[in-house]
Amino acid sequence: MFVSGLLFHRAILMSGSGLSPWSLVADPNKYAAIVATHANCSPDLTPPALLRCLRERPLEALLSAPVQAPDFAYAFGPSVDGVVIGK
């Protein structure tokens, strides 16, 4: 069972498409590395280890990371990771 089964019972999807070019993040690892470095976590950690490290940091450290998204694009967006939302 996916984690989403414990979090969500129903969903209403509105506006846009996950296939729209503007909705996709071109290089998510680049932005994750910026946040990791700013929060004193090694960007070379495995994804589970990086997540553990980031969860130990204060929210202010994560929010103050100098992330600059391209014009008309996003630095962070939805992803189907197979953990929260099944593939």
Please, which pLDDT band fits residue 58 given cuts at 50, 70 and 90? very high
- Residues of the chain with pLDDT > 70: what percent? 76
pLDDT at 59: 95
Q: Per-residue pLDDT tens for 34-57? A: 999 999 999 999 988 999 999 999
Report H helices in 1-87. 4-7, 28-38, 47-55, 59-63
pLDDT at residue 26, rounded to an integer = 77
The pTM assigned to this predicted structure is 0.67
Q: d(Cα 39, Cα 58) in Å, to the nearest integer?
A: 9
Rounded-to-integer distance, Cα 59 and Cα 62, Å = 5
Q: What are the counts of helices (DSSP H) followed by strands (DSSP E) for the chain?
A: 4, 0
User: Given a cut of 70, is residue 2 above it in pLDDT?
Assistant: no
Token pair in block for residue 54: 């980031």
